[in-house]
């Protein structure tokens, strides 16, 4: 019965090797199995579909404020954050401008004190303002100071990866906490019809649960602290290596490089592994049903039974090698 006991482990080992060649490290023991059931993909935008190297344009909303001073205040507030939008301000840091009592609200923004004044950086609603600005806004206790338009280029292979996911029969959707204009631009560029912007972490989880309630297993791909709750709640999730530590602990697979095409290829590997596993189990079960009674009745000499056992084991191992990326 060696072939029967080897049928599943050799396929799992081959599939994990294939995932490793794609740059994916399984964190969860059930990741491979769950990938085979996926029917819909939820995607974060910033740092996931985009490069995570955004450029910033400043629109001053109060006279007397200068671009360098506003950027330095924003950089001081964002200094402790690992979000890609926060990293965009790093090049504008000024050692003379330091923030204290910093508090971050996931999916909304960050606040703190700079030179004795209280500042908030984030969405307009987080600032308590009815701003006509789309993007990040900076305000102090006297009101709005500036709006920051952030442009982040789409990853070069993102369109091919999205098309490949659709080619596998999966629905694709963007669920982002970013501004409407930025999300719609990326959705158009990638040909994604369904997208949602300005989502809080709780709203992302609500969208995921709505899909699951309809009987749709979901793959979530993200990288930020804001994505951690939905990554943990998804049927299976992939986290980028550049993502936050909290997101990585919530994910099922870790994407070790920036090759976005690894995502659809991982789904294809999982489907191929399931097919090969079923073949191995069917062959091993049929072989044992026939061979064991014949051997037990003494109709086979020991040398031939030993040869048959080895041959059947070699067959399932060789068949498992068909699982490749």
Categorise residue 116: left if φ over 0, alpha if ψ from -120 to 50, beta otherwise: left
Whether 44 is a known active-site residue: answer yes
Please give the Cα distance from 210 to 151 (Å, whole number): 31
Which listed residue (44, 178, 223, 235) is catalytic? 44
Q: Of 177, 216, 219, which is closest to residue 196 (Cα–Cα)?
A: 177
Contacts 24+ apart (CB under 8 A), 202-205: 202/229, 204/42, 204/175, 204/177, 204/229, 204/230, 205/229, 205/230, 205/233
Please give the Cα distance from 157 to 151 (Å, whole number): 18
Please give the Cα distance from 171 to 193 (Å, whole number): 10
| Helical packing angle, 180-190 and 158-167, nearest 10° | 70
Contact indicator for 234, 42 with CB cutoff of 8 Å: yes
Active site residues: 44
């Amino acid at each position: 019965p060696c072939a029967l006991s080897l049928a599943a482990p050799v396929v799992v080992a081959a599939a994990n090797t294939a995932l490793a060649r794609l740059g994916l490290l399984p964190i969860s023991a059930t990741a491979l199995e769950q990938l085979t059931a996926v029917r819909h993909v939820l995607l974060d935008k910033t740092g996931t579909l985009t490069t995570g190297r955004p450029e910033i344009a400043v629109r001053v909303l109060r006279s007397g404020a200068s671009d360098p001073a506003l950027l330095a205040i924003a950089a001081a507030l964002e200094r402790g954050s690992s979000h890609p939008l926060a990293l965009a301000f790093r090049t504008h840091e000024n050692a003379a401008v330091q923030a204290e009592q910093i508090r971050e609200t996931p999916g909304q923004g960050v606040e703190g004190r700079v030179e004795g004044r209280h500042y908030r950086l984030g969405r307009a609603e987080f600032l308590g303002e009815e701003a006509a600005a789309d993007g990040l806004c900076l305000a102090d206790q006297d009101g709005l100071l500036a709006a920051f338009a952030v442009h982040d280029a789409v990853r070069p292979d993102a369109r091919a990866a999205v098309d490949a996911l659709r080619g596998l029969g999966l629905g694709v959707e963007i669920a982002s906490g970013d501004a409407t204009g930025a999300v719609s631009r990326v959705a158009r560029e990638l040909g994604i019809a369904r997208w949602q912007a300005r989502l809080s972490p709780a709203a992302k989880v609500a969208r995921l649960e709505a899909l699951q309630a309809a009987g749709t297993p979901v793959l979530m791909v993200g990288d930020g602290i804001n994505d951690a709750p939905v990554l943990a709640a998804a049927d299976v999730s992939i986290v980028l290596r550049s993502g936050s530590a909290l997101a990585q602990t919530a994910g099922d697979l870790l994407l070790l490089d920036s090759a976005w095409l690894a995502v659809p290829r991982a789904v294809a590997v999982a489907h191929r592994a399931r097919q090969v596993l079923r073949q191995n189990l069917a062959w091993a079960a049929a072989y044992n049903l026939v061979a064991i009674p014949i051997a037990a009745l003494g109709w086979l000499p020991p040398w031939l039974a030993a040869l048959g056992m080895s041959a059947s084991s070699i067959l399932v191992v060789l068949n498992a090698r068909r699982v490749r990326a």
